[in-house]
Amino acid sequence: MIEARQLRKSFGAVEAVRDVSFTAPDGRITGLLGPNGAGKSTTLRMLSTILAPQSGTALIDGVDTRADPLAARRAIGVLTHQSGLYPNLTARENILYFAELHGMPRPERLQRADELIEQLDMREFAVRRVKGFSQGQRIKTALARALVHRPKNILLDEPTNGLDVMAVRNLRALLYRLRDSGHCVLFSSHVMQEIAWLCEEVVVIAGGRVLATGTPDAIRERAGAAHLEDAFVSLIGDAEGLL
Amino acid sequence: MRTIWTIFRKEFLENLRDRRTLTTALLLGPVLGPLMLSGLLQFVAQREQERLDKPLPVAVVHAERAPNLLSYLKGYGVEVTAVTLSDEAAQQAVQSRQQRLVLAIPEDFGALLAAQSPAPVYLYYDAANLDDARSLRRVTSLVTQYGQTIAQLRLLARGVDPAVIVPVIVQGIDVSTPRSRAGTVLGMLSYIVMFAMLLGGMYLAIDATAGERERGSLEPLLTTPIARAHIVYGKILACCAFMLISLVLTLSTTAFALSHTRLDGAGIAVDFNPSVVLHMIATTAPFIPLGAGLMTLIASFTRSYREAQSWLGLAMLVPTLPLAIASVLGLKPSLATMAIPSLSQHFQLMAALRGETLPLAWMLLSAGVCLLAGFFVCWIVSRLYQREAILG
């Protein structure tokens, strides 16, 4: 479970996140929906312990990220905005490197890597160097790397960017599988349809503040709109930055 | 410790697969450096040899006025060409480099000599041409010698011992050995070694910091449950490993190249046996953590791979600064100068070349200061990685 309590973060004069609170429960896919520059990435970075909030608290399974960042990191798997793979390592080596950094013993590492390669259908390119991978292959590798230590909580920052339809479908299937096995999945996107299809819980965020939370239907009803998109536009005031 | 090792292994392996890192670390310094050095040395040796053997050409105006002087000069390897030139024409010929040296004998030379008055001869030369300065010295001293011979004969004719006009005599005794002379010529070795060593670690330092950030792989790395300081130490260690490989390779290839360079012509000898090479590696290696730390520090501040590249290119000149300053000021190894990193490595390399040994305390001081400074810089980098700005 991931909890954000009144998170605030500014960079110099820019207030990226003013006041963000929400809870992403286990066994659910929670979507962080907002236009570009809404503060989604900064929020995810605070939750994944890369940035320290100026005020407020981020809790991973009840662990304060500032009090015990190492424990919090063990409980999360993060897929960052850029896939951030090492081009001169193979897909498998990328996965094994992170497994080792997570302190997994060697036999377990190897077994887990093979398991993920199988699960994510990566056999074809697993022992090729990442240099020259397609966007879909990159995302799969990065996802396998994020999942290697079997984290309970998974954070994904705009994972569908640059993916083709088939790859998006595969990703969606995988996220459902994670949800069904009881994981907490937190997913950020500025693509309305994606959120509407995938998420049971939506957190609408703009200008560094949470504007609404709830199921897509609840949000739509509250805004009195026929579609989530209309609800979203009426919530943030204009259609800027939307897809 | 285990996490540092994990980071180290991955950085090392990944950079072994990077063609750019590999060429600069294992090829550029270790191959080009020694080739340059031995090529240059061979060139110097050849020139020296040629200059010694070469006859010295001198154009003489009115050679017929001083036949004895000219046959004396010819006897010492001067190649006399008789020319007919006016004073201005002689001057112009030297200025325009048609002639290197023109010796003009005045009309009254014979008469003055016979009258036992000082008889001038005129030598046109171009002081702006260093090569001719050597020829000038040779001709001048030959003419002076000729004059002294006449003076001695004159004294003898008067029944005076010529020794009375030589109250003091300077006898220079050259105590340099062929090996110590090698040191002055091979002073360039320090630059090459320093440069090759830094170059060896440069691309790794960039790739592990600015490169990692630019690729977006720093952020996922920072979400793993390991201390940021360990990440930094692993990266710096990998940089050190590449620098060490570069150092060992450079010195080995230099030893090989110089043992195949003919240097006897220049009157120098180089003893580059394996124990000298090992000694050089041991005395230069303590500089590695400092160099790796500094490069990582600079690369961490830059925003992109390209920016890091241009900054590090400049920064590489910094460790060669003490060497340049020392050679201008003529600094010698002392307790104070041995505490200056890179300069102390230079002194130790030179001492090893000359076959001298520096006091053990000085060598320990050099290694100690370098290692301490290196650890300090590494600690600063690890502090730098605690800052959020490191994400760029």
Q: What is the pTM of this model?
A: 0.79
The shortest CB-CB distance from A48 to any of B14, B223, B226 is to B223
Residue located via tokens 């080596």: A93
Q: What is the largest CA-CA distance in chain B?
A: 103
Residue B295 CA to residue B203 CA, distance in Å, equals: 10
Residue B107 CA to residue B120 CA, distance in Å, equals: 10
Contact B318, B287 (CB under 8 A): no
Q: State whether A88 and B17 contact (CB < 8 Å).
A: yes
In A, which residues are within 8 Å of B217 by CB distance? Answer: 82, 84-86
DSSP B310-339: HHHHHHTTGGGHHHHHHHHHT----TTGGG
Distance from the Cα of A229 to chain B's closest Cα (Å) equals 31
Q: Is residue A182 classed as helix, strand or coil in its secondary structure?
A: coil
The shortest CB-CB distance from B225 to any of A74, A80, A142 is to A74
The shortest CB-CB distance from A73 to any of B7, B217, B224 is to B224
Q: Is residue A11 classed as helix, strand or coil in its secondary structure?
A: strand
Q: Which helix H or strand E contains A18, and what residues bound it?
A: strand A14-24
B220 touches chain A (CB under 8 A): yes
Contact B289, B240 (CB under 8 A): yes
B335 touches chain A (CB under 8 A): no
In A, which residues are within 8 Å of B15 by CB distance? Answer: 88
Task: Kindly report, residue by residue over B244-269, the tens digit of the pLDDT.
Answer: 999 999 999 888 887 777 666 556 66
pLDDT tens-place values along chain A, 243 residues long: 999 999 999 988 888 999 999 999 999 999 999 888 888 999 999 999 999 999 999 999 999 999 999 999 999 999 988 888 999 999 999 999 999 999 999 999 999 999 999 988 899 999 999 999 988 899 889 999 999 999 999 999 988 877 778 888 888 888 999 999 999 999 998 888 888 888 889 999 988 899 889 888 888 887 777 777 777 777 776 645 444
- How far lies B388's CA from each of A84, A102, A112, in Å? 18, 22, 32
B223 touches chain A (CB under 8 A): yes
